[in-house]
A and B are shown apart, each in its own frame.
Chain A
Amino acid sequence: MPNDKDVAVLGVGMHPWGKWGRNFVEYGVHAARAALADAGLAWSDVEFVAGGDTMRNGYPGYVAAASIAQALGWNGAQVASTYGACATGAQAIDVARARILAGLCDVALVVGADTTPKGFFAPAGGERKTDPDWLRFHLLGATNPIYFGLYARRRMEIFGATLADFAQVKVKNSRHGFANPNARYKKLYTIEEVMASQVVSDPLRLLDICATSDGGAAVVLTSMAFARKHAANPVRVAAVSTVTPRYPNTVIEMPNFATDSAVGVAVPDVPFRDSIARGAYEQAGIGPEDVSFAEVYDLSTALELDWYENIGLCKPGDAEKILRDGVTTLGGRQPVNPSGGLGCFGEAIPAQAISQLCELTWQLRGQAGERQVANAKVGVAVNQGLFGHGSAILAVV
């Protein structure tokens, strides 16, 4: 049943992920036009544009909503550009949702796009000795895979995860994304191939770790009243969670050198990564048992297994079991990353959470083709950005 905090997803669109090397604005315009066409609306109908910023494309990237609005042809819409690292897209979606729910507009376009450099993500230039993101590279050479490697090793030590389990995640996702027209990597892998790829940050291999990609994604969000005039049963966004950690956060997070100290105050009952989807479940009055499928942020294969537990698909330590039992594979009880996930896409930071909502929408409409989840009614997408950004979206039909 719709509730008064729902907004409709009237249109979705993406520019395929890849390493195209063009201006990020082009991907944003392509995705925005696709989403508007999907909604059956014109650019002139858009009253508000929420843009997900990119940090690697100069000033136009810091004002992404305006950069893309200008490229579409100024139409006088109000804009907001927002940044939350990997969680950027969820923030942009939530800003648009809040304006719609406040009655300030009926039609909002949310768009994010990125052009990424080759190789490891690096910090912004200059010598910035008070910036932990700069310092972690300078003093430790702590790339993102270093943090992923720490989590993966921990999972092996605590729960007995194996390299074959991690590889199985890649194998599963490579099958899921194989026929996805927007995926960058369309190749089927075997467990042996994944395990034999070069070690980047032990225990993680190259094929365990997501690449950096170019891409763009957009959604057209509208009020439910507006949507009913255009669609019989539109997909609805039932919740968006952009929670921050609660002090003390005792799991080491990018880009930090240390965790918070737990000396002065008790550790919270719900760790940060568990609180992200929980925030969305509580908003919508939906539980993990109701979820038909999930899109989770598989920055590494091992991290996908952490997410199963963080979003409540199983209890801590059971992720490997539900993976092996096929629960999270297409055809299983709760498929995870039917899109193929980051393993098939690579990461285009400000577009990523928006692309997750695109996938939720296609699945909930029954338009996902060969990767369709049977009888999809409730989809959850989760993601986490460095500097303490949670991102969870619940979409329902």
Chain B
Amino acid sequence: MSSTRRPAIEGWFTLDDAAPALLGTRCKACGTYFFPRESFACRNPRCGASDFEDVPLSRRGKLWSFTDNRYPPPKPYVASDPFEPYAVAAVELEREKMVVLGQVVAGVGCDQLETGMEMELVLDTLYRDGDDDVVTWKWRPAHAQ
């Protein structure tokens, strides 16, 4: 049986392997970006409009800060067994003027990260569900490609 790939959550990112992107929305009135997507009412208190466009977010940004998980997080996280520690990055997107969290790809630990470095978005396995490869967005240093 071949494995099936599916996103860990629907509609939060594209499944484009070559150039995956987070999917946000942008208020048509004031230009504010939202991730996860907002489609009901603009949260800018001086705006409040309700027309949004879907936008892929910038695929690259600067590392704002980073840390890691040395112990398995509780459910509903599906932790590997044995648990492999992984880093978490907060990446600042210049165009959107926002910081977005994400796991860092396996094999890149805190000792290989530095605040201010260029990061890029990739798709990677979050966990295996039987034969299914459940994927999510992750960050990796842009020079690592």
Contacts and interface: CB of A to CB of B under 8 A. Distances in A.
B15 interface: no
Nearest to B83: A141
Interface in B22-41: 27, 30-36
Nearest to A199: B70
B9 A139 contact: yes
Interface residues of B, number: 48
Interface centre among B33, B45, B73 (most CB of A within 10 A): B73
B36 A257 contact: yes
Interface in A132-184: 132, 134-135, 137-143, 145-146, 149-154, 157
A247 B44 contact: yes
Given A129-B9, A139-B126, A258 B67 contact: no
Contacts, number: 139
Interface string B27-61: 10011111110000011111100000000000000
Nearest to B103: A140
A122 B8 CA distance: 19
Contact of A202 (B67, B90, B96): B67
B132 interface: no
B67 A247 contact: no
A261 interface: yes
Contacts of B98: 250, 258-262
A264 B47 contact: yes
A252 B9 contact: no
Contacts of B8: 138-139
Interface string A82-119: 00000000000000000000000000000000000001
Nearest to B89: A150
Contacts of B88: 140-142, 146, 149-150
Contact of B64 (A135, A140, A154, A204): A154
A143 B73 CA distance: 6
B79 A141 contact: yes
A203 B65 CA distance: 11
A380 B8 CA distance: 44
B104 to A, nearest CB: 11
Given A137-B76, A258-B98, A262-B97, A157 B115 contact: yes
- Can you list the 7 inter-chain pairs with the closest CB atoms, starting with the nearest? A149-B67, A264-B32, A141-B73, A264-B30, A122-B74, A262-B97, A141-B77
